[in-house]
Chains A and B, each alone.
Chain A
Amino acid sequence: MKISLNWLGRYVDLDGEHQSPEKLAEQLALCGGLEVDEIHRPGLAFEKVVTGVILEKLKHPSADRLSVCQVSTGHGVVHQIVCGAKNHNQGDKVVVALPGAILPGNFQIKKTTIRGVDSCGMLCSSSELGLNSGSSPELADGILILPSDAAIGTEYADYLGVRDVIFEVKVTPNRSDCLSHFGLAREIAVLTGRICEFPVESFLLDEQSCRSQIKVIVTDHQRCLRYSGICILGVQVGPSPAWLRQSLEAVGLKSVNNVVDATNFVMLELGQPLHSFDISKINGKVEVGSSQKGEKFETLDGTILELTGDELVIRDDNAPIALAGVVGGKNSGINENTTDLFIESALFSSASVRRTSRRFGIETDASYRFSRGVDPEGVLLALNHCSQMIQKIAGGRILREAYDIYSQPIKKPTIELDNAFVNQKIGFEISPVETLAILRRIGCEINDGEVISGQDGNDELPGRFCVKPPSYRWDLRIPEDLVEEVARLKGYPFIPETLSWLKNPPKSHHPEYDLRKRWVNMATGQGFRQTIHYSFVSSQDQNEFLGNLEFLNQCGIIDSHSAVTIKNPLSEAQNVMRLSLGWGLFTTAIHNDRFGQKSGEIFEVGETFSHQVRMTNDSDSVTDPFNEALLLGLCVWGSPIDLWNQKMPPAVYRIKSALENMVRQSQLGQLHFQSIPNDQLAGFLHPQQATLLSCLGTPVGYLGTLHPVVCERYKLRVDCAIAEVNLYKLNKILTRKMVPISKFPVMQRDLAFVMPLELPVGEVVAEIQRVAGNSLREVCVFDVYQGEGLALGSRSVGFRMKFQNLEKTLTDTEIQKVQDEIVSFLAQKFSISLRS
């Protein structure tokens, strides 16, 4: 909201604040809770406009109607200016716009030559300065002659005293009382201890009664809490006087005509929205009540709305003429031909106005104020003030017996406040006298019966008071609200810093936090960089990328096929919640590859979302119909430049090592890598380089190289692999228990088998582990050979086995026995034999 300091000055003495508005702004923020986002100084509109004196006036050599003036603007500076006016003479004090000045209407003053004579500026008339229009036409025609005692060389803004300061104030939703100049002046008065007054001017009422002109009824008292209105007959609609135009323009409002400007001015002045109807366009009576479903309504600016039956409207006998508190109707608005006005000043229910405003997406200054709450006791003041103002600037007769339908006057709440409670809540000793003084300062009434002075007139007051906040402070309802008022006006800096609650013992973190943190740390330890992606993605991108969702289901990444949709996305690129981390990681790989990072190792630990599979239309109140899974996603692309002593394995193996390390670090057990039938594979994975991850029989994720077709589609021309693991599922399976350490020696045996290429080595390893049982501590693949000496289509795989027993030293015979068993079982199961 824009606030003009000059305007504020009508109600509160702001002497000196114009020079350093920053100080006032800080006070508003620190004690008022009203942030001043920006400070403008529009007095700069008169930049390069100064006062001067005409030293010499000569006729223009080649134009009879023009004169050539030598004008001094002080400090020995003289300008030659060609002027077309007639009313000026040598020795007159004038207003000079120098080259570079920009006058109202974006009129730029430049150095020019007029009929062969140089002219460096302009002598200004009042209208050129945007000052008046009400004064006599002769005066408006000629240039402005200042009194002879005017100082020359003064900037005109200073001469006029119009140097204004505009605050852009952020008002929190609770402080609707500050949504006006008077309201803010009142708050400044509270903060600075100044006096704030609203100048009430009296005016004469006509003999005729409003009731004879128009009939007003309210049929919905729930939503229309108070409705007042007055008739003004015989007004002359026309342009507003300069001061009014300037006041409105200074705070960003366009001047329309004197009547509309007056209602807007009073709204910005008192915070009470007003609306003016043209009486001649009202058919029959005015009724405040509910709209009818399907009824059409055309707003002032020509938008046609279809009403739902839920809106509060003002209607005449035929149709709605205004959406209550939101916007007026085209059918009843005033124009230059209007002579008779009905001015409305009302109090509509906040919720109702807000609902209507949201429904049609129309937010007006009026709806903004109504939805935050206006002062129920300010309704009539605003109406009277506005009538008086209209009469002053547009003429007309104000009829007597204004309407004021206020069937259930809003009662001010009474808040019982215990000073001990104030002290306890603030954590700081404030005397009852001080508490009372602060509450009175903000306009609260204190029930006198409750405050009894102690004997001898000392400061001893009883600790409890009954407090009635002023009607404009909707936000003061409970004792805590008053605690805040006392605390902020006493000053937050006075509150000491304590930690009195440390006596209670702490509890442990939510397991999900520990889980997340552990995996972030482990993945970081494996040399992966953490990334964080938006939780929402484009549904089209996601579907195109993931392809067959059944695969993600099979490997435990998602529980259902349907993504969660956002009703009001910012754009189509972010319209569903992500089902997997894969797409985000892939886009980051592409982004980085494009920007020259030709290889990288990244991960994300984050949530994914899916709809729960639902039987029917159940309305189970306990559970929510969404699954949020916590996933670990890993992505590796490219190969760091091959160093002099090293060759990098393919991306997919680099992820595999990291995954296995992490699972081992968690003391979780072992990941199993199961091959997937081609027809079940997701489209984004390479059919020959993908595997399902499982742990103790439960699928927990997948690992694979990106499909070359997908990479090509996005021009990623390096090796890229992705893995995802469902951390909730994995965590459920795995235990973190210490395994005892054997103190007996380790015996190592190597066996090499010749086997067909198609036989996955992992299956052989699993079989070796099964057959060897407990005394096999570890088995690893130490050699894979294919080529000379072996049949085509076969390879030799060397396994290194470490045997160790918890209770004893194993003998050669015992180990030989296990070894023989392994050889015979493998021969049986896979038809493979030792390499000779």
Chain B
Amino acid sequence: MLKNQLSALRKEAEEKMISAQSVTQLYELKVQFLGKNGTLSTLMKGMATLSKEIRPEFGKLANEVKGALEQLYELQSVKLKDREIQQGLQANKMDLTLPGPYCSKGSRHPIQIVMDEIVEILSRIGFSVRSGPLIERDHYNFEALNIPKDHPARDMQDTFYIQDPLSPREYVLRTHTSPVQIRTLETEKPPLRILVPGAVFRRDSDISHSPHFHQIEGLLVDTKVSMSDLRGTIAYFVKAFLGSEMKTRFRPSFFPFTEPSAEVDCSCPMCNQMGCRVCGQTGWVEIGGCGLVHPQVFANVKLDPKDWQGLAFGFGIERMAMIKFGIDNIRLFSENDLRFLEQFHL
């Protein structure tokens, strides 16, 4: 009798669950048949009236039914949920051609991008950054770098002087990053390899000159340093910065703080040395100056030139950025026009 009821219940529950139309309806059926006070539970409570002999058999049967129904429920539940999701998709259609919310776009200044990249490249071969003040003592900017007063080399760099009637010293806006060479050599012991990126100032303003511009300078001091080390360093840098196919060449030049001195040209990256406006049809563009540290510079910081040798090089950041990004007017760097700045995403 109970057995018949059990199989009837199973049949009814199975049919209803299979034909359930929603997850809610299915859940209600689960409660109705399998819940605490559901049909199956009620039926199983009736087990107490059964004889000891058939009770276990019935119990086993009842558990079988329960297991089967639960399994069916899980199966149906997954099926129905999936169906509901599928149906919901259409209703939640979004027009993705509409714009997303505003999100301002940050960017580094091209000068910063070039400076960071040069620092990164030279950090790889162990150069580390040093810095110094922009309002610099005349001594560090000139004298200690072997540029005495009344020396024609001072004409190479038109200088801004600082008004400070109280000070016994003369101050300038540094005309190059080289004073940091001296400051570093005064405080740190060689051997060393340093890099000085930063702002410099010269009293000069036209289409290719800005009174406030940027340089990066490298100084390496060791017991033995040669011109070939200088060539190797510069060649490594140019290849890493502008591309492995780039060539460099040295031209003799003059800087009071290096001897020998050279100007560095690299093969024109615009025209592949075919000749263009940027390189003035020569196939080469000037990127900076370099040389071996003048013994007088070592003497000025109380290092014995017999014990120490060095190499130094410097590049104009604006110039590098102009070459790298094909920029033709130096004013763009200080104008800060967003139409210019937004072209640099790095």
Residues of A within 8 A of B (CB): 26, 29-33, 35, 172-175, 350-352, 354-355, 371-372, 424-428, 475, 478, 480-481, 483-484, 487-488, 492-493, 495-502, 504-510, 512-513, 517, 520-521, 523-536, 564-570, 574, 577, 588, 591-592, 595, 597, 600-602, 607, 609, 611, 614, 617, 619, 624-626, 628, 640, 643-646, 648
Contacts and interface: CB of A to CB of B under 8 A. Distances in A.
B127 interface: yes
Contact of A499 (B99, B212, B236, B294): B236
B33 interface: no
Contacts of B335: 591
A803 to B, nearest CB: 32
Contacts of B127: 506
Interface in B175-213: 191-193, 197, 199, 201, 203, 205, 211-212
Contacts of A521: 108
A507 B294 CA distance: 24
A533 B334 contact: yes
By CB atoms of chain A within 10 A, which of B123, B149, B151 has the most? Answer: B151
B109 A532 contact: yes
7 contacts: A426-B228, A502-B126, A506-B193, A526-B106, A535-B212, A592-B338, A602-B338
A757 B296 CA distance: 70
A425 B225 CA distance: 7
Given A493-B249, A529-B342, A570-B205, A626 B171 contact: yes
A497 B161 CA distance: 40
A425 B137 CA distance: 31
B227 A425 contact: yes
Given A499-B125, A536-B212, A427 B227 contact: yes
Contacts of A496: 228, 231-232
A354 B231 CA distance: 36
B76 interface: no
Interface of B: 98-99, 101-109, 111-112, 116, 119, 123, 125-131, 133-135, 137, 149-153, 155-156, 159-164, 166-169, 171, 173, 191-193, 197, 199, 201, 203, 205, 211-212, 220, 222, 224-229, 231-233, 235-236, 249-254, 259-263, 282, 292, 294-296, 309, 333-339, 341-342
Nearest to A602: B336
Contacts of B161: 566-568
Given A492-B250, A504-B191, A427 B106 contact: no
Contacts of B262: 33, 492
A499 B233 contact: yes
Contacts, number: 284
Given A506-B193, A534-B212, A607-B134, A648 B102 contact: yes
A478 B156 contact: no
Contacts of A607: 134, 199
A354 B155 CA distance: 10
Contacts of A592: 336-338
Contact of B253 (A33, A526, A536, A595): A33
Given A535-B212, A592-B338, A648-B102, A500 B131 contact: no
Given A492-B250, A513-B131, A498 B126 contact: no
A523 B106 CA distance: 7
B121 to A, nearest CB: 13
Contacts of B129: 509-510, 513
Contact of B251 (A30, A520, A624): A30
Given A428-B227, A527-B104, 9 more contacts: A35-B251, A350-B152, A487-B227, A501-B191, A517-B116, A529-B338, A534-B334, A597-B338, A643-B99
Contacts of B133: 624, 626, 628
A528 B106 contact: yes
Contacts of A483: 227, 259-260, 292
A507 B128 contact: yes
B336 A588 contact: yes
B228 A427 contact: yes
B336 A591 contact: yes
Q: Nearest 6 CB-CB pairs, A to B? A: A427-B228, A484-B260, A427-B226, A33-B252, A506-B126, A527-B104
A173 B151 CA distance: 9
A691 B156 CA distance: 47
A493 to B, nearest CB: 6
A583 to B, nearest CB: 13
A461 B102 CA distance: 78
A32 B339 CA distance: 44
A102 to B, nearest CB: 27
Contacts of A609: 134-135
B106 A527 contact: yes
